Structure 1
Amino acid sequence: MISYPRTSSQKLSVELGLDEVIRKLAENPSYSVLARKLIESKKFAPSQGKKDDPAHPAIFPTGEKPGALRTVESKLYDLVVKRFLACFADSLVKESLSVILRLGKENYLANGSTVLKKGWLEFFGGYASIKETLLPDYKDGQVLRVKGPELIEKETQPPKRFTAASTVRELEKKGLGTKATRSQILETLFNRGYLTGSKSIQVTELGLSVYRTLHSYCDEIASVKLTREIEAEVEQISEGKADPDKVVEHGRKDLDKILRKFKESEEKIGKNLLSALKETRREQNKLGECKCGGDLILRKSRFGLFVGCNNYPDCKQTYPLPKNALIQSLDQVCEKCGTPIVKVIRKGRRPFVMCLDPQCLTKANWGNKKEARPPKE
Protein backbone atom coordinates (compact mmCIF):
# COMPACT_ATOMS: atom_id res chain seq x y z
CA MET A 1 0.00 0.00 0.00
CA ILE A 2 2.89 2.37 0.78
CA SER A 3 6.61 2.41 0.03
CA TYR A 4 9.36 1.56 2.52
CA PRO A 5 8.57 3.78 5.55
CA ARG A 6 11.94 3.96 7.30
CA THR A 7 13.42 6.78 5.25
CA SER A 8 14.37 10.39 5.85
CA SER A 9 14.19 11.33 2.16
CA GLN A 10 12.10 14.26 0.94
CA LYS A 11 12.58 13.34 -2.71
CA LEU A 12 10.21 11.64 -5.18
CA SER A 13 11.77 10.58 -8.48
CA VAL A 14 9.76 10.65 -11.74
CA GLU A 15 11.03 7.11 -12.28
CA LEU A 16 8.53 5.98 -9.64
CA GLY A 17 5.69 6.53 -12.11
CA LEU A 18 4.06 9.21 -10.00
CA ASP A 19 1.43 10.05 -12.63
CA GLU A 20 0.30 6.42 -12.68
CA VAL A 21 0.06 6.37 -8.89
CA ILE A 22 -2.18 9.45 -8.97
CA ARG A 23 -4.40 7.83 -11.61
CA LYS A 24 -4.76 4.71 -9.46
CA LEU A 25 -5.69 6.85 -6.45
CA ALA A 26 -8.36 8.53 -8.60
CA GLU A 27 -10.11 5.14 -8.73
CA ASN A 28 -10.45 5.16 -4.94
CA PRO A 29 -13.66 7.05 -3.96
CA SER A 30 -11.92 8.48 -0.89
CA TYR A 31 -9.33 10.32 -2.99
CA SER A 32 -10.93 10.59 -6.45
CA VAL A 33 -11.86 14.29 -6.15
CA LEU A 34 -8.36 15.40 -5.13
CA ALA A 35 -6.55 13.09 -7.56
CA ARG A 36 -8.71 14.17 -10.52
CA LYS A 37 -7.91 17.82 -9.83
CA LEU A 38 -4.23 16.97 -10.35
CA ILE A 39 -4.92 14.87 -13.43
CA GLU A 40 -7.09 17.57 -15.06
CA SER A 41 -4.43 20.23 -14.46
CA LYS A 42 -1.64 17.78 -15.42
CA LYS A 43 0.25 18.39 -12.20
CA PHE A 44 2.64 15.45 -11.93
CA ALA A 45 5.79 17.25 -10.73
CA PRO A 46 5.98 17.23 -6.91
CA SER A 47 7.37 19.88 -4.61
CA GLN A 48 10.37 18.35 -2.86
CA GLY A 49 12.53 19.02 0.17
CA LYS A 50 16.33 19.05 0.44
CA LYS A 51 16.89 15.73 2.24
CA ASP A 52 17.82 12.76 0.09
CA ASP A 53 18.28 9.08 0.84
CA PRO A 54 20.25 7.07 -1.73
CA ALA A 55 18.51 3.87 -0.64
CA HIS A 56 14.86 4.93 -0.48
CA PRO A 57 12.59 7.74 -1.72
CA ALA A 58 10.14 9.67 0.46
CA ILE A 59 7.15 7.65 1.66
CA PHE A 60 4.42 7.45 -0.98
CA PRO A 61 1.32 5.32 -1.64
CA THR A 62 1.65 2.67 -4.33
CA GLY A 63 -1.88 3.30 -5.58
CA GLU A 64 -3.08 -0.18 -4.68
CA LYS A 65 -6.40 -0.02 -2.85
CA PRO A 66 -5.99 -1.25 0.75
CA GLY A 67 -8.09 -4.00 2.24
CA ALA A 68 -9.65 -3.94 5.68
CA LEU A 69 -7.67 -1.66 7.98
CA ARG A 70 -7.97 -0.94 11.67
CA THR A 71 -8.83 2.63 12.65
CA VAL A 72 -5.26 3.67 13.43
CA GLU A 73 -3.96 2.02 10.23
CA SER A 74 -6.65 3.73 8.15
CA LYS A 75 -5.74 7.15 9.59
CA LEU A 76 -2.05 6.60 8.90
CA TYR A 77 -2.71 5.51 5.31
CA ASP A 78 -5.02 8.49 4.81
CA LEU A 79 -2.29 10.86 6.02
CA VAL A 80 0.30 9.30 3.68
CA VAL A 81 -2.00 9.60 0.66
CA LYS A 82 -3.10 13.19 1.35
CA ARG A 83 0.45 14.29 2.09
CA PHE A 84 1.53 12.70 -1.19
CA LEU A 85 -1.22 14.39 -3.23
CA ALA A 86 -0.55 17.73 -1.53
CA CYS A 87 3.01 17.66 -2.92
CA PHE A 88 1.58 18.14 -6.43
CA ALA A 89 -0.93 20.86 -5.57
CA ASP A 90 -0.63 24.63 -6.11
CA SER A 91 1.12 26.80 -3.56
CA LEU A 92 -0.85 28.28 -0.73
CA VAL A 93 -1.30 32.04 -1.11
CA LYS A 94 -1.47 34.11 2.05
CA GLU A 95 -1.83 37.85 2.46
CA SER A 96 -0.04 39.41 5.43
CA LEU A 97 -0.65 42.84 6.90
CA SER A 98 1.47 44.73 9.44
CA VAL A 99 0.17 47.86 11.14
CA ILE A 100 2.31 50.25 13.19
CA LEU A 101 0.28 52.17 15.76
CA ARG A 102 1.97 55.21 17.32
CA LEU A 103 0.93 56.27 20.81
CA GLY A 104 2.95 59.26 22.01
CA LYS A 105 6.57 58.37 21.36
CA GLU A 106 5.97 54.59 21.39
CA ASN A 107 5.24 52.36 18.40
CA TYR A 108 3.04 49.26 18.71
CA LEU A 109 2.94 46.55 16.07
CA ALA A 110 -0.06 44.47 15.03
CA ASN A 111 0.27 41.61 12.51
CA GLY A 112 -2.53 39.91 10.62
CA SER A 113 -2.83 37.35 7.85
CA THR A 114 -5.49 35.65 5.78
CA VAL A 115 -5.45 32.80 3.25
CA LEU A 116 -6.35 33.91 -0.29
CA LYS A 117 -5.85 30.55 -1.99
CA LYS A 118 -5.78 27.26 -0.10
CA GLY A 119 -3.66 25.37 -2.63
CA TRP A 120 -2.01 22.35 -0.99
CA LEU A 121 -3.86 23.05 2.29
CA GLU A 122 -7.08 21.82 0.69
CA PHE A 123 -5.45 18.45 0.01
CA PHE A 124 -4.30 17.97 3.58
CA GLY A 125 -7.83 18.08 4.97
CA GLY A 126 -7.83 18.02 8.75
CA TYR A 127 -4.12 17.19 9.01
CA ALA A 128 -2.94 20.78 8.57
CA SER A 129 -4.28 24.23 9.29
CA ILE A 130 -3.15 27.84 8.96
CA LYS A 131 -3.93 30.31 11.70
CA GLU A 132 -5.56 33.43 10.31
CA THR A 133 -5.64 36.76 12.15
CA LEU A 134 -7.95 39.34 10.64
CA LEU A 135 -7.26 43.04 11.27
CA PRO A 136 -9.67 45.92 10.71
CA ASP A 137 -9.38 47.81 7.42
CA TYR A 138 -6.91 50.42 8.60
CA LYS A 139 -5.76 53.29 6.39
CA ASP A 140 -2.37 55.00 6.37
CA GLY A 141 -2.42 58.05 8.68
CA GLN A 142 -5.76 57.10 10.23
CA VAL A 143 -6.31 58.52 13.74
CA LEU A 144 -7.72 56.11 16.37
CA ARG A 145 -9.08 56.78 19.82
CA VAL A 146 -7.31 54.96 22.68
CA LYS A 147 -9.79 53.45 25.12
CA GLY A 148 -7.20 53.11 27.85
CA PRO A 149 -4.00 51.28 28.86
CA GLU A 150 -4.02 47.69 30.09
CA LEU A 151 -1.21 46.19 32.15
CA ILE A 152 -0.91 42.44 31.57
CA GLU A 153 1.16 40.33 33.94
CA LYS A 154 2.69 37.17 32.45
CA GLU A 155 5.34 34.66 33.43
CA THR A 156 8.00 33.08 31.28
CA GLN A 157 6.94 29.55 30.38
CA PRO A 158 9.44 26.68 30.60
CA PRO A 159 10.33 24.78 27.42
CA LYS A 160 7.99 21.92 26.56
CA ARG A 161 9.06 18.47 27.70
CA PHE A 162 10.41 16.15 25.07
CA THR A 163 8.07 13.64 23.48
CA ALA A 164 9.15 10.50 21.61
CA ALA A 165 8.78 12.33 18.28
CA SER A 166 10.64 15.48 19.36
CA THR A 167 13.44 13.36 20.87
CA VAL A 168 13.95 11.53 17.57
CA ARG A 169 14.04 14.90 15.78
CA GLU A 170 16.62 16.18 18.27
CA LEU A 171 18.80 13.10 17.67
CA GLU A 172 18.60 13.75 13.94
CA LYS A 173 19.43 17.42 14.46
CA LYS A 174 22.54 16.52 16.48
CA GLY A 175 23.59 13.88 13.96
CA LEU A 176 23.20 10.99 16.42
CA GLY A 177 22.03 7.58 15.26
CA THR A 178 20.51 6.83 11.87
CA LYS A 179 16.95 6.84 10.58
CA ALA A 180 16.92 3.09 11.25
CA THR A 181 18.28 3.24 14.83
CA ARG A 182 16.95 6.44 16.46
CA SER A 183 13.66 4.89 17.52
CA GLN A 184 15.54 1.84 18.84
CA ILE A 185 17.85 4.10 20.87
CA LEU A 186 14.83 5.71 22.51
CA GLU A 187 13.22 2.32 23.19
CA THR A 188 16.45 1.10 24.83
CA LEU A 189 16.53 4.14 27.14
CA PHE A 190 12.99 3.31 28.29
CA ASN A 191 13.68 -0.42 28.66
CA ARG A 192 16.74 0.24 30.84
CA GLY A 193 14.80 2.56 33.12
CA TYR A 194 16.62 5.75 32.13
CA LEU A 195 13.42 7.41 30.88
CA THR A 196 9.76 7.26 31.86
CA GLY A 197 6.47 8.80 30.75
CA SER A 198 4.00 7.95 28.00
CA LYS A 199 3.37 11.35 26.38
CA SER A 200 5.94 13.74 27.85
CA ILE A 201 9.30 12.15 28.69
CA GLN A 202 10.97 12.45 32.08
CA VAL A 203 14.45 11.31 33.10
CA THR A 204 14.49 8.85 35.99
CA GLU A 205 16.85 9.09 38.96
CA LEU A 206 18.83 6.25 37.40
CA GLY A 207 19.08 8.09 34.07
CA LEU A 208 20.31 11.26 35.78
CA SER A 209 22.79 9.28 37.86
CA VAL A 210 24.22 7.52 34.78
CA TYR A 211 24.60 10.88 33.03
CA ARG A 212 26.24 12.63 35.99
CA THR A 213 28.48 9.69 36.90
CA LEU A 214 29.80 9.18 33.39
CA HIS A 215 30.50 12.89 32.97
CA SER A 216 32.33 12.91 36.31
CA TYR A 217 34.53 9.87 35.78
CA CYS A 218 34.60 9.20 32.04
CA ASP A 219 33.28 12.16 30.07
CA GLU A 220 34.38 10.79 26.69
CA ILE A 221 31.96 7.85 26.82
CA ALA A 222 29.01 10.28 26.82
CA SER A 223 30.52 12.66 24.27
CA VAL A 224 28.06 13.81 21.63
CA LYS A 225 30.98 14.89 19.42
CA LEU A 226 32.65 11.46 19.52
CA THR A 227 29.39 9.61 18.86
CA ARG A 228 28.59 11.91 15.95
CA GLU A 229 32.05 11.35 14.44
CA ILE A 230 31.65 7.57 14.68
CA GLU A 231 28.20 7.75 13.06
CA ALA A 232 29.58 9.92 10.25
CA GLU A 233 32.47 7.52 9.59
CA VAL A 234 30.10 4.54 9.46
CA GLU A 235 27.90 6.47 7.00
CA GLN A 236 30.95 7.19 4.86
CA ILE A 237 31.76 3.46 4.79
CA SER A 238 28.26 2.66 3.52
CA GLU A 239 28.69 5.30 0.80
CA GLY A 240 32.12 3.95 -0.20
CA LYS A 241 33.88 7.15 0.87
CA ALA A 242 35.96 5.70 3.74
CA ASP A 243 38.24 2.70 4.25
CA PRO A 244 36.53 0.28 6.71
CA ASP A 245 39.85 -0.95 8.14
CA LYS A 246 41.04 2.58 8.92
CA VAL A 247 37.70 3.50 10.53
CA VAL A 248 37.74 0.34 12.68
CA GLU A 249 41.34 0.97 13.77
CA HIS A 250 40.55 4.57 14.63
CA GLY A 251 37.51 3.46 16.64
CA ARG A 252 39.52 0.75 18.43
CA LYS A 253 42.08 3.28 19.63
CA ASP A 254 39.39 5.64 20.93
CA LEU A 255 37.52 2.87 22.72
CA ASP A 256 40.68 1.43 24.25
CA LYS A 257 41.50 4.83 25.75
CA ILE A 258 37.93 5.31 27.05
CA LEU A 259 37.62 1.82 28.54
CA ARG A 260 40.96 2.09 30.37
CA LYS A 261 39.77 5.33 31.96
CA PHE A 262 36.43 3.72 32.83
CA LYS A 263 38.19 0.71 34.41
CA GLU A 264 40.21 2.99 36.71
CA SER A 265 36.99 4.37 38.26
CA GLU A 266 34.86 1.23 37.92
CA GLU A 267 34.22 0.77 41.65
CA LYS A 268 33.23 4.42 42.23
CA ILE A 269 30.95 4.36 39.20
CA GLY A 270 29.25 1.17 40.43
CA LYS A 271 28.57 2.60 43.90
CA ASN A 272 27.06 5.77 42.46
CA LEU A 273 24.76 3.85 40.15
CA LEU A 274 23.63 1.23 42.67
CA SER A 275 21.71 3.63 44.91
CA ALA A 276 20.10 5.30 41.89
CA LEU A 277 19.10 1.88 40.51
CA LYS A 278 17.37 0.95 43.76
CA GLU A 279 15.50 4.27 43.87
CA THR A 280 14.40 3.94 40.22
CA ARG A 281 13.16 0.39 40.75
CA ARG A 282 11.23 1.50 43.82
CA GLU A 283 9.55 4.29 41.85
CA GLN A 284 8.81 2.03 38.88
CA ASN A 285 7.22 -0.59 41.16
CA LYS A 286 4.94 1.99 42.75
CA LEU A 287 1.57 1.98 40.96
CA GLY A 288 -0.47 4.33 43.14
CA GLU A 289 -1.94 4.86 46.58
CA CYS A 290 -3.75 2.14 48.51
CA LYS A 291 -7.05 2.95 50.21
CA CYS A 292 -5.29 2.44 53.56
CA GLY A 293 -2.89 5.28 52.74
CA GLY A 294 0.05 3.03 51.82
CA ASP A 295 1.61 2.48 48.40
CA LEU A 296 0.40 -0.15 45.94
CA ILE A 297 3.52 -1.82 44.55
CA LEU A 298 4.44 -4.64 42.21
CA ARG A 299 5.13 -7.89 44.03
CA LYS A 300 6.24 -11.29 42.82
CA SER A 301 4.98 -14.73 43.84
CA ARG A 302 5.55 -18.21 42.44
CA PHE A 303 2.47 -17.61 40.26
CA GLY A 304 3.78 -14.36 38.76
CA LEU A 305 3.42 -10.63 39.40
CA PHE A 306 0.61 -9.12 41.43
CA VAL A 307 -0.13 -5.81 43.17
CA GLY A 308 0.06 -5.53 46.93
CA CYS A 309 0.24 -2.85 49.62
CA ASN A 310 3.57 -1.93 51.21
CA ASN A 311 1.79 -1.85 54.59
CA TYR A 312 1.50 -5.66 54.57
CA PRO A 313 0.74 -7.46 56.88
CA ASP A 314 -1.37 -4.64 58.38
CA CYS A 315 -3.05 -4.21 54.97
CA LYS A 316 -3.67 -7.32 52.89
CA GLN A 317 -5.09 -5.57 49.78
CA THR A 318 -3.99 -7.29 46.55
CA TYR A 319 -4.92 -7.10 42.86
CA PRO A 320 -4.18 -9.64 40.08
CA LEU A 321 -2.29 -8.70 36.92
CA PRO A 322 -2.24 -10.09 33.35
CA LYS A 323 0.51 -12.66 32.87
CA ASN A 324 3.62 -12.03 30.75
CA ALA A 325 3.03 -8.28 30.62
CA LEU A 326 4.91 -5.10 31.43
CA ILE A 327 2.92 -2.94 33.85
CA GLN A 328 3.40 0.84 33.89
CA SER A 329 1.92 3.39 36.27
CA LEU A 330 -0.06 6.24 34.70
CA ASP A 331 -0.45 8.32 37.89
CA GLN A 332 -4.21 8.23 37.36
CA VAL A 333 -7.15 6.79 39.30
CA CYS A 334 -10.34 5.23 38.00
CA GLU A 335 -13.34 7.57 37.82
CA LYS A 336 -15.67 4.74 38.88
CA CYS A 337 -13.92 3.31 41.94
CA GLY A 338 -10.85 5.47 42.68
CA THR A 339 -8.39 2.59 42.19
CA PRO A 340 -5.14 3.31 40.27
CA ILE A 341 -5.12 2.82 36.51
CA VAL A 342 -2.15 1.15 34.80
CA LYS A 343 -0.95 0.53 31.27
CA VAL A 344 -0.50 -3.11 30.21
CA ILE A 345 2.09 -3.85 27.52
CA ARG A 346 2.30 -7.34 26.01
CA LYS A 347 4.58 -8.46 23.20
CA GLY A 348 2.84 -8.60 19.84
CA ARG A 349 -0.32 -6.88 21.10
CA ARG A 350 -1.50 -3.31 21.39
CA PRO A 351 -1.06 -1.73 24.85
CA PHE A 352 -4.19 -0.98 26.83
CA VAL A 353 -5.09 0.73 30.09
CA MET A 354 -7.13 -0.77 32.89
CA CYS A 355 -8.28 -0.27 36.46
CA LEU A 356 -6.49 -2.57 38.91
CA ASP A 357 -9.73 -3.60 40.64
CA PRO A 358 -11.19 -6.70 38.91
CA GLN A 359 -14.63 -5.83 40.38
CA CYS A 360 -14.68 -2.31 38.88
CA LEU A 361 -17.68 -1.32 36.74
CA THR A 362 -15.28 -0.55 33.86
CA LYS A 363 -14.66 -4.31 33.62
CA ALA A 364 -18.29 -5.39 33.81
CA ASN A 365 -18.35 -6.71 30.21
CA TRP A 366 -14.76 -7.86 29.86
CA GLY A 367 -15.82 -11.51 29.72
CA ASN A 368 -17.91 -10.83 26.61
CA LYS A 369 -15.49 -10.17 23.75
CA LYS A 370 -18.23 -8.99 21.42
CA GLU A 371 -19.58 -6.44 23.87
CA ALA A 372 -16.42 -4.95 25.30
CA ARG A 373 -12.65 -5.04 25.15
CA PRO A 374 -9.98 -3.47 27.33
CA PRO A 375 -9.68 0.25 26.50
CA LYS A 376 -6.80 1.00 24.16
CA GLU A 377 -4.18 3.55 24.92
Structure 2
Amino acid sequence: MEDDLDHIEEGKVDWVKVLSSFYKSFEKRLEVAEDEMKEVEIQDEVSDEVCDKCGRPMVYKMGRFGKFLACSGFPDCRNTKPIVKEIGVACPQCHEGRVIERRSKKGRIFYGCDRYPACEYVSWDKPAGKPCPTCETMLVEKRNRSGTRLQCPQCGYTEELPDSEQA
Protein backbone atom coordinates (compact mmCIF):
# COMPACT_ATOMS: atom_id res chain seq x y z
CA MET A 1 0.00 0.00 0.00
CA GLU A 2 2.84 2.37 0.86
CA ASP A 3 4.42 1.84 -2.55
CA ASP A 4 1.05 2.49 -4.21
CA LEU A 5 0.71 5.76 -2.30
CA ASP A 6 4.20 6.77 -3.43
CA HIS A 7 3.19 6.05 -7.06
CA ILE A 8 0.05 8.18 -6.59
CA GLU A 9 2.19 11.04 -5.27
CA GLU A 10 4.49 10.76 -8.29
CA GLY A 11 1.47 10.83 -10.60
CA LYS A 12 2.14 7.36 -12.08
CA VAL A 13 -1.10 5.72 -10.85
CA ASP A 14 -4.75 6.83 -10.60
CA TRP A 15 -5.62 7.20 -6.91
CA VAL A 16 -9.26 6.13 -7.39
CA LYS A 17 -8.21 2.72 -8.76
CA VAL A 18 -5.71 2.14 -5.95
CA LEU A 19 -8.16 3.03 -3.19
CA SER A 20 -11.04 1.04 -4.68
CA SER A 21 -8.88 -2.10 -4.98
CA PHE A 22 -7.73 -1.67 -1.37
CA TYR A 23 -11.25 -1.04 -0.09
CA LYS A 24 -12.75 -4.21 -1.63
CA SER A 25 -10.62 -6.51 0.54
CA PHE A 26 -10.73 -4.15 3.52
CA GLU A 27 -14.55 -4.02 3.43
CA LYS A 28 -14.78 -7.83 3.70
CA ARG A 29 -12.41 -7.91 6.68
CA LEU A 30 -14.35 -5.07 8.32
CA GLU A 31 -17.66 -6.96 8.02
CA VAL A 32 -16.11 -10.08 9.58
CA ALA A 33 -14.70 -8.01 12.45
CA GLU A 34 -18.09 -6.36 13.10
CA ASP A 35 -19.82 -9.77 13.20
CA GLU A 36 -17.27 -11.29 15.58
CA MET A 37 -16.95 -8.27 17.86
CA LYS A 38 -18.40 -8.66 21.33
CA GLU A 39 -19.98 -5.89 23.32
CA VAL A 40 -17.63 -4.54 25.96
CA GLU A 41 -19.01 -3.78 29.39
CA ILE A 42 -16.93 -1.52 31.59
CA GLN A 43 -17.22 -2.32 35.29
CA ASP A 44 -17.59 0.63 37.66
CA GLU A 45 -14.86 1.11 40.27
CA VAL A 46 -16.41 1.04 43.76
CA SER A 47 -15.28 3.77 46.19
CA ASP A 48 -15.20 3.95 49.98
CA GLU A 49 -17.91 6.66 49.94
CA VAL A 50 -21.50 5.85 50.89
CA CYS A 51 -24.50 7.53 49.25
CA ASP A 52 -26.03 10.24 51.45
CA LYS A 53 -29.55 9.52 50.16
CA CYS A 54 -29.87 5.71 50.09
CA GLY A 55 -26.79 4.27 51.84
CA ARG A 56 -25.52 2.24 48.87
CA PRO A 57 -21.85 2.41 47.89
CA MET A 58 -20.75 5.17 45.50
CA VAL A 59 -18.89 4.28 42.27
CA TYR A 60 -16.50 6.24 40.07
CA LYS A 61 -17.98 7.30 36.73
CA MET A 62 -16.51 9.21 33.82
CA GLY A 63 -18.42 12.22 32.51
CA ARG A 64 -17.69 14.98 30.05
CA PHE A 65 -15.97 17.02 32.79
CA GLY A 66 -13.92 14.09 34.14
CA LYS A 67 -14.40 11.58 36.95
CA PHE A 68 -17.14 11.93 39.56
CA LEU A 69 -18.88 9.78 42.18
CA ALA A 70 -22.36 8.40 41.49
CA CYS A 71 -24.66 6.16 43.48
CA SER A 72 -24.47 2.48 42.51
CA GLY A 73 -28.28 2.35 42.81
CA PHE A 74 -28.85 4.30 39.57
CA PRO A 75 -31.59 4.79 38.21
CA ASP A 76 -33.45 4.43 41.54
CA CYS A 77 -31.07 6.91 43.21
CA ARG A 78 -29.51 9.69 41.12
CA ASN A 79 -27.19 11.13 43.78
CA THR A 80 -23.77 12.33 42.52
CA LYS A 81 -20.76 14.02 44.15
CA PRO A 82 -17.65 15.65 42.76
CA ILE A 83 -14.30 14.06 43.59
CA VAL A 84 -12.74 16.42 46.10
CA LYS A 85 -8.98 16.77 46.48
CA GLU A 86 -8.07 18.32 49.85
CA ILE A 87 -4.70 20.03 50.16
CA GLY A 88 -4.57 19.91 53.97
CA VAL A 89 -4.94 23.64 54.63
CA ALA A 90 -7.62 25.39 56.72
CA CYS A 91 -9.53 28.17 54.93
CA PRO A 92 -7.80 31.50 55.62
CA GLN A 93 -11.06 33.44 55.23
CA CYS A 94 -13.66 31.61 57.35
CA HIS A 95 -11.27 29.40 59.42
CA GLU A 96 -14.00 26.70 59.48
CA GLY A 97 -13.67 25.02 56.08
CA ARG A 98 -10.82 23.27 54.31
CA VAL A 99 -9.17 24.45 51.09
CA ILE A 100 -9.76 22.03 48.21
CA GLU A 101 -8.50 21.83 44.64
CA ARG A 102 -11.09 22.59 41.98
CA ARG A 103 -11.21 23.00 38.21
CA SER A 104 -12.64 25.91 36.28
CA LYS A 105 -14.93 25.41 33.28
CA LYS A 106 -11.86 25.68 31.06
CA GLY A 107 -10.01 23.04 33.11
CA ARG A 108 -7.63 25.37 34.96
CA ILE A 109 -6.87 24.38 38.58
CA PHE A 110 -7.83 26.81 41.35
CA TYR A 111 -8.27 26.52 45.11
CA GLY A 112 -11.37 27.31 47.15
CA CYS A 113 -13.12 26.71 50.45
CA ASP A 114 -15.17 23.50 50.72
CA ARG A 115 -17.92 25.51 52.44
CA TYR A 116 -18.76 27.40 49.21
CA PRO A 117 -21.19 29.26 48.83
CA ALA A 118 -21.16 30.08 52.58
CA CYS A 119 -17.48 31.04 52.23
CA GLU A 120 -16.30 32.49 48.92
CA TYR A 121 -12.51 32.12 49.36
CA VAL A 122 -10.76 31.35 46.03
CA SER A 123 -7.15 31.53 44.84
CA TRP A 124 -5.34 30.65 41.61
CA ASP A 125 -2.21 29.98 43.68
CA LYS A 126 -1.98 27.03 46.07
CA PRO A 127 -2.19 28.18 49.73
CA ALA A 128 0.80 26.98 51.73
CA GLY A 129 -0.89 26.82 55.14
CA LYS A 130 1.79 29.05 56.64
CA PRO A 131 1.23 32.68 57.72
CA CYS A 132 3.40 35.53 56.44
CA PRO A 133 5.88 36.59 59.15
CA THR A 134 5.32 40.24 58.19
CA CYS A 135 1.54 40.66 57.90
CA GLU A 136 0.02 37.27 58.96
CA THR A 137 -1.68 36.71 55.56
CA MET A 138 -1.47 33.10 54.32
CA LEU A 139 1.48 32.49 51.99
CA VAL A 140 0.86 30.94 48.55
CA GLU A 141 3.10 28.78 46.36
CA LYS A 142 4.48 30.42 43.24
CA ARG A 143 6.18 28.22 40.64
CA ASN A 144 8.78 29.26 38.12
CA ARG A 145 11.60 27.60 36.16
CA SER A 146 14.03 27.66 39.07
CA GLY A 147 11.58 26.01 41.50
CA THR A 148 8.83 26.92 43.93
CA ARG A 149 8.81 29.80 46.38
CA LEU A 150 6.34 30.97 48.99
CA GLN A 151 4.98 34.46 48.51
CA CYS A 152 2.62 36.72 50.42
CA PRO A 153 -0.17 38.07 48.18
CA GLN A 154 -0.66 41.02 50.57
CA CYS A 155 2.81 42.50 51.23
CA GLY A 156 5.00 40.70 48.66
CA TYR A 157 7.22 38.85 51.19
CA THR A 158 8.93 35.83 49.54
CA GLU A 159 10.95 32.88 50.74
CA GLU A 160 12.48 30.03 48.78
CA LEU A 161 11.07 26.59 49.38
CA PRO A 162 13.76 23.98 50.18
CA ASP A 163 14.17 21.27 47.51
CA SER A 164 12.81 18.61 49.89
CA GLU A 165 9.44 20.42 50.22
CA GLN A 166 8.89 21.10 46.52
CA ALA A 167 6.21 18.95 44.94
- Shorter-chain TM-score bucket reads 0.3 to 0.5
> Under a length normalisation based on structure 2, what TM-score does the superposition of the two structures give?
0.36
**When you count strand as a share of all residues, which structure comes out higher?**
2
